[in-house]
Amino acid sequence: MKFERYHIAQEIKRNLDGMGFKKPTDIQYKSIPSIMNGEDVLAIAQTGTGKTAAFAIPIINRIHKHKTSKRVYGITCIVMVPTRELAMQIGEVFATLAKHTRVKVYALHGGVEQDPQIKKLQDGLDILITTPGRMFDLIHQKYIDLKRIRTLVIDEADRMLDLGFIEDITFIKKMLPRRHQTLFFSATINQEIKKLAYSQVKSSAVRIQISPEDPVSKNVTHYVMFVEMDDKRFFLKEFVGENPDSKIIVFVRTRVRAERVARTMEHFEISTMTIHGEKDQDDRFEVMKQFKEGTCNILIATDVSARGIDIPDVHYVVNYDLPDIPENYVHRVGRTGRGFNKGSAISFCSEGEKGLLADIQQLLKKEIKVLHINKEEYTETISTLGDEDKLKALMDDHEAWLKKKRKKKKRKRGN
Sign of CA dihedral 53, 76, 65, 205: positive
Q: Is the pLDDT of residue 33 over 90?
A: yes
SS3 of 176-227 = CCCCCEEEEEECCCCHHHHHHHHHHCCCCCEEEECCCCCCCCCCEEEEEEEC
d(CA 12, CA 368): 40
Which pLDDT does position 394 carry in this prediction? 47
Render pLDDT for 255-282 as a digit per residue (tens, 0 to 9). 899 999 999 999 899 999 999 878 887 8
Residues of the chain with CATH 3.40.50.300: 3-209, 220-384
The whole-chain average pLDDT of the chain stands at: 87
Which pLDDT does position 387 carry in this prediction? 45
| pTM flag (> 0.75) | no
Q: Buried (b) or exposed (e) across 335-360, using 16+ Cβ within 10 A?
A: bbbbbeeebbbbbbbbeebeebbebb
Render pLDDT for 280-328 as a digit per residue (tens, 0 to 9). 878 888 888 899 899 999 999 998 766 657 787 899 999 999 999 888 8
In this structure, the strands spanning 206-209 and 77-80 are: unpaired
Which CATH topology does 3-209 take?
A: Rossmann fold (3.40.50)
On the CB side of 296, CA atoms within 13 Å amount to 20
Render pLDDT for 105-136 as a digit per residue (tens, 0 to 9). 999 998 889 999 999 999 999 999 999 989 99
CB of 57 within 8 A of CB of 51? no
Mean pLDDT of 180-203: 82
CA dihedral 305, 306, 310, 315 (to 10 degrees): 120
Read off the pLDDT band of 386 (50, 70, 90): very low
Q: Is the pLDDT of residue 44 over 80?
A: yes
Which pLDDT does position 340 carry in this prediction? 76
- Look at residue 275 and give its three-state secondary structure: strand
Read off the pLDDT band of 334 (50, 70, 90): confident
Angle of CA points 25, 44, 16, to nearest 5°: 30
Read off the pLDDT band of 412 (50, 70, 90): low
On the CB side of 124, CA atoms within 13 Å amount to 7
Architecture (CATH level 2) of domain 220-384: 3-Layer(aba) Sandwich (3.40)
Which pLDDT does position 189 carry in this prediction? 72
